[in-house]
Structure formats: C-alpha cells, structure tokens
Amino acid sequence: MNSFKIFSALKESIKIAFKHKLLWVFALLVATSTGTNVGFVSNLIPGLQESSDQETSWILTPEHPFNPQNLIAVEAPIPSETEGVGSDSEEALESEAPLESAPAEGTPINLNVSNYIFLQAVQLLYTFSVRDYVELFKVHLVVLGITGFIGISAAIVIGFVIKNWGIASLLKGTKMASDGTGYKLGELSEVGVAYATRLFRFDLLIFLTYFVVSVFFIVLIVAPFALLPQTSINYLIAFLIGVVYFLLLVSLFYISKIGPYFVVFEKQRAREAIHSGWEFFKENFAYAILIDIVNFVFVGVVLMSFASIFAAISYVAVVAYPFLVLFLQENFALILPLSLFISIFIVSGMLLFLAIFGFVETVKQIMWTKFFFSFHSLGNPNSTQNNSTLRDSFVPKETTNAA
C-alpha cells in the first residue's frame, strides 16, 4: 500500500465527514468524554506583594472583627542571616513588632474583596491547628470523603458509558456513511445504547490489562537494580525489558481502537473482541501505524492552522486594547457594543473550534472504518482480505475502473 492510496482514503474521508455533520457530534462526544478533565485554578488575588525591606501582613483582631476598616497593619522586620534562629529570637521578633492603631473610619485602604476573603481564611489557619480542624470537622470530613469518592466514581462510570454509547453510534454511522446509506439520529442512538454496556466491559478489561502489565514490567525493570550490583548489564536488561513493555503498550493501544469494531459489528464479547483485535493488529500492524501517523499529521495541521489564526487575531486585539481605552474615554457609549462584540467573538471562536475538532475526529474515525473493512469481512472474524480489496477501498473508484 503506497502513500497515494492512503491520501486518497484521507480525501474520501474528508468528503464523507464534511457531508455527514451529525457524526461530528458523536466524535466530539467520544473525544471529550474519554478521560477525566481536570481544571486549573489560577491565583486571582492581587495586591499581596512583598517589599524589599519589610513584610506587611493584615491580621483580624477580636476588637475589629471582619471589617475592612478595622484591619490592623503589622510591620514585621525580616530577620537578617546573622541573627539567631531560636526561641529567643522569635520572642524578640514578636516584642519588636509594634501594633499600629486602626485606620480612622473613612480612610481609604488598598484592599479588595478577594484580599479580604483571603485574609479571613489565613486568620482561621493561624487560629486553629490541623488537629483542631480534624476534631471539629471529623464527621464532616468522613461524610465529605465518602461522598466525594462516590461522586467521582459515578462521574467516571457515567463518562465511560457516555463515551461507549458515542463510540458505538459513531462506528455505525461511519460505516453507513462510507457505504452511502442514510441514517437517522435515533437509529444511531439505539445502536449506541445496545452496545454501551458491552463496550464498557471491553474498556474495563483493557484498563485492567494495562494496569497488570505496567505493574509487572515496572517490577521487572526495578528488580535488577535492587537485587544485583550496579553494572552495565543491569541497564541493558532494563532497556530490553522497557522495549518489550513499550511494544505491549502500543499493541494494547491499537487493540483498544480495533476491538470496538468487533463488539459492534461482530457482536463479540469483551474477551473475544480483545483476541480478535490482537489478531487483526498482528496481521496489519504496519498499515495501522501508518494510518495513525497520517491522521495525527492531518489533525495537527488543521488544529494548528485554526489556533494560529485565532491567536493572531487575539494578539492584534490585545495590542490595540490600550488605544481602544483611550478612544472610549471620549466615546463612552461605545463600551457596551464593543464588549458585546468581544464576547461574541470569543464564544464564536470556541464554538468554531469545537466544530473543527468534531470534524477532524470524524475524519479519523472514517479512516479507521475504511481501513478495518478493507481487511475484514463481516461474519468471519479471522478473515483477512487480499490487497486487491484494500486497493478497491483506498483508491478512488475512477482509478480502480481505469486500471
């Protein structure tokens, strides 16, 4: 199979995916529900900066509870390296830290709401020790831990079920789209519901295999260094074991991609699908890796092109922002329309990115569907068709007829 046939299949997959936009939804659903999304919280508390000579901290006192106007500034000099670091120096430091009087009412304080909330939390941390917290919230911590564990476990299970429902629907849809057969959303959804549980078992078995294989090979890699003297032979053994481990992980990765086809189209159970997926990959591993490389390059080019254009527009907007501020100072009525335009631009960019992402994921899945049915005939799980069938699938029909 040469590169022309691969790219011909890619071209056909792009045409099919662009025509069948309903499949974008299933592809996006599968891609976004595969793993657990972890959010990152940035530090949004400004104004907490250290000066070069002194540290300034804000402490709430019982005489001035929870009132920004009653916060007391404490000027605590930073001890030099020559000073002692013992209980005496700490007592001296505490005695040398004068308490200034509270600012007069109405005096402006450079303190926003975020700082105020943060300071209350800091005050609680200094008031209670960890043991006090455990004693005070023991029951609450237990209930919170159990609830959190159940909630996270349920979210993972639901995510896998939704993903597998989407996979079954997507596989059926890509097959019907490749065959030129019409379909409806309800029809694809019924297929997804019918095979979601079986695909979940397949995913679970793949995960357990990953886990067992990883633990086994990690022990094999670490054992020579723990039991034998440190020699170059140990490194050679560890390297060879690592290569075998990597090859097994690659095999499991492709089995996890090929196995669902046997579950959906051959109605196989999880173990049977893993075995059939292994046999299919073993006979066609070069084709599978080559198609995955083409898909990876295609997705990277499309997404990077969109990201570059969006980043360039955003950069221009950021550079122009100071000039817009100066302009809006004299044209205050334009602030609301400009804010609406910026919001619409951001939301439109996000929606466009999701659409493009769903499109490229659909193209990838159609490529895999065409590849699978080029080498496999339904009703015979162990069948491998000859290269003429592969050529008929990957070369455009005009080229095949002309040949």
Q: What is the dihedral of CA 21, 23, 28, 30, to 10 degrees?
A: 180
Residue 100 included in any domain: yes
pLDDT at 122: 58
The band of 346, judged by pLDDT with boundaries at 50, 70 and 90, is confident
pLDDT exceeds 80 at position 71: no
- Helix, strand, coil in percent for the chain, rounding step 5: 75, 5, 20
269 and 381 within one domain: yes
Contact indicator for 36, 159 with CB cutoff of 8 Å = yes
Residue 122 included in any domain: yes
pLDDT exceeds 60 at position 394: no
Contact indicator for 378, 172 with CB cutoff of 8 Å = no
Residue 246 included in any domain: yes
213 and 82 within one domain: no
Cβ neighbours, 10 Å, residue 223 = 14
158 and 130 within one domain: no
383 and 267 within one domain: yes
d(CA 184, CA 375): 27
Contact indicator for 171, 265 with CB cutoff of 8 Å = yes
The band of 325, judged by pLDDT with boundaries at 50, 70 and 90, is low
d(CA 137, CA 380): 61
398 and 296 within one domain: yes
Q: What is the mean pLDDT of residues 385-398?
A: 40
d(CA 74, CA 93): 12
The band of 117, judged by pLDDT with boundaries at 50, 70 and 90, is low
Give one word for 66, left, alpha or beta, with left for phi > 0 and alpha for psi -120 to 50: left
Residue 44 included in any domain: no
267 and 205 within one domain: yes
377 and 233 within one domain: yes
Amino acid at residue number 168:
A
pLDDT at 350: 82
Q: Is the dihedral of CA 295, 297, 300, 302 positive or negative?
A: negative
100 and 213 within one domain: no
Residue 344 included in any domain: yes
Give the best-scoring range by mean pLDDT among 3-7, 13-17, 261-265.
261-265
Contact indicator for 138, 72 with CB cutoff of 8 Å = no
264 and 379 within one domain: yes
The pLDDT tens digits of the residues spanning 202-251 come to 888 999 999 999 999 888 888 777 777 777 887 888 888 889 999 999 99
Residue 390 included in any domain: yes
Tokens matching residue 179: 């065959």
**Which residue matches tokens 């992402």?**
357
Helix (H) / strand (E) element for 59: namely strand 54-59
> What is the SS3 assignment for 170?
helix
Predicted TM-score of the model (pTM)? 0.55
Count how many residues are written for the chain. 403
Residue 146 included in any domain: no
**Distances in Å between the alpha carbon of 131 and those of 66, 124, 134, 346?**
25, 13, 5, 47
Contact indicator for 268, 276 with CB cutoff of 8 Å = yes
159 and 130 within one domain: no
The pLDDT tens digits of the residues spanning 349-362 come to 888 888 888 888 88
> What is the SS3 assignment for 77?
strand
Residue 211 included in any domain: yes
Number of domains in the chain: 2
Residue 60: give the domain boundaries: 54-135
d(CA 209, CA 249): 10
Closest by CA position to 188, among listed 218, 167, 207: 167
Identify the bridge partners of residue 54 per DSSP, sorted by sequence position: 77
d(CA 194, CA 188): 10
242 and 201 within one domain: yes
364 and 275 within one domain: yes
pLDDT at 395: 38
- Higher confidence at residue 202 or residue 149? 202
Burial 112-126 (b: 16+ CB within 10 A, else e): eeebbebbeeebeee
Name the DSSP class of 62. T
